[in-house]
Amino acid sequence: MSTTYLYMVRLVHPDLLEHTDPEQERVMEAHFVRLKEGVEQGQVVLAGPCTDGAFGIVIFEAQSEQEAEAYMLADPAVVAGIMTAELHPFRISLMQNRPRG
């Protein structure tokens, strides 16, 4: 049985998205592709940034806290040091078009 987790990511340098070099662009693309694949595989429930750039969130399913932490720490943007990440267990209480479980 899986548990829902949330990890919050923050850019190490808040203006990074406005001034990226080719390597940072490659890492951010890999970050996005990984999350998209997670959605397609049914692991990631939702992911996205705050439009004011404060932080982003990833809500996802994992079998254990260790698995959740490993998933978060393997995020390409975290591995590259472009983002920091913080993990929290999360309970979805209400959501549009989501069956109760």
* 78 contacts 10 by C-beta, under 8 angstroms: no
Residue 77: half-sphere exposure toward Cβ, Cα within 13 Å: 26
Taking the CA atoms of residue 39, residue 45, residue 51 and residue 56 in that order, the dihedral angle to the nearest 10 degrees is -90
DSSP single-letter state for residue 89: E
Strand 44-49's sheet: what is its strand order?
Answer: 44-49, 56-62, 3-11, 83-89
Q: Show the low-confidence residues of the chain (pLDDT under 70).
A: 98-101
Task: Say whether pTM exceeds 0.85.
Answer: yes
CA distance 96 to 62: 21
pLDDT for 95 equals 83
The 10s digit of each residue's pLDDT in 12-40 is 987 777 777 899 999 999 999 999 999 99
Q: Residues 3-89: name the CATH superfamily.
A: Dimeric alpha+beta barrel (3.30.70.1060)
- Domains in the chain: boundaries: 3-89
